[in-house]
Structure 1
Amino acid sequence: VSLGDKEYVGFAALPNQLHRKSVKKGFDFTLMVAGESGLGKSTLINSLFLTNLYEDRQIPEASG
């Protein structure tokens, strides 16, 4: 069944409908990234979410 050129109703359209609903409504999730210091965990998160989560973070100096 077609509602127009861009919207369809039926089981095949469920993933798109759920995606649109989730994006519109918003949702919570938990993400854990683990690894040694200096491997780029924060860079990965910043890249995934197009943001800088730790703008004010101070990186400690490496001790020799």
Structure 2
Amino acid sequence: LDKEYVGFAALPNQLHRKSVKKGFDFTLMVAGESGLGKSTLINSLFLTNLYEDRQLPEASGFLWPKAEP
């Protein structure tokens, strides 16, 4: 469509241009078991290494509350 065109058909392109220019926030949740490639998926989607220096605590260090009888 012509850039000068005004109408409903131009609305998706206008919204796309506005979002790209202004920027936008979104939330993404990836769930799954350990070692299935969740971080690799996110890094691939964003073409970066978001979790490069992340260090995870040992599972044995967690204290789980005991259920009261």
TM-score by length of 2: 0.69
Q: Does 1:48 find its partner at 2:45?
A: yes
Cα 1:63–1:19 shift into 2, 3 Å: same
Partner deviation per Cα, 1:37-57 (whole Å, 9 max, x = no partner) = 011101111111111101112
Cα 1:58–1:14 shift into 2, 3 Å: same
Cα 1:41–1:25 shift into 2, 3 Å: same
Structure 2 segments unaligned to the other structure (5+ residues): 62-69
Distance 1:55 1:11 in 2: 44
Cα 1:58–1:19 shift into 2, 3 Å: same
Aligned residues: 60
Larger Rg: 2
Structure 1 segments unaligned to the other structure (5+ residues): none
Distance 1:7 1:35 in 2: 47
4+ residue stretches of structure 1 with deviation over 3 A? 58-64
After alignment, is 12-21 or 53-62 more displaced?
Answer: 53-62
Cα 1:14–1:54 shift into 2, 3 Å: same
Distance 1:44 1:9 in 2: 40
Pairwise CA distance, 1:61: 9.4
TM-score by length of 1: 0.74
